[in-house]
């Protein structure tokens, strides 16, 4: 696989033994490691496009999960609020009954 070096050799030190230039890499595992380091890209740039697509899908999934969690918490809060209102009404009725009895 033809790898294109995109790191700046003046500022970014690559991994020992990895050339800071464009080169052909016959080893698939080493190619994958170099692409994952983001110091290299393939000649076609296909990996970058795939990585961006995966990140976009992951972000959408995380946002969907966060929205579901927020909706669930809102529902629970609404239920708790309704229970608190019912309890307040019962206490008000008991207080009214106690006042009537005290008269």
Task: Give the sheet arrangement for strand 2-5, strand by strand.
Answer: 23-24, 2-5, 40-42
14-58 pLDDT, tens digit each: 666 677 777 888 888 888 888 888 788 887 777 778 888 999 999
pTM: 0.43
- Cα separation, 44 vs 19, in Å, equals 19
């Amino acid at each position: 696989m033809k790898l294109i070096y995109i790191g700046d050799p003046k500022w970014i030190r690559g991994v020992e033994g990895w050339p800071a230039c464009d080169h052909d890499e016959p080893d698939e595992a080493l190619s994958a490691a170099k692409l994952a380091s983001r110091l290299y890209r393939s000649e076609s740039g296909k990996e970058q496009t795939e990585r961006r697509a995966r990140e976009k899908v992951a972000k959408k999934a995380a946002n969907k999960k966060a929205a579901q969690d927020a909706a669930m918490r809102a529902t629970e809060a609404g239920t708790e609020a309704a229970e608190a209102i019912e309890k307040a009404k019962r206490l008000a009725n008991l207080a009214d009954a106690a006042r009537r009895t005290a008269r």
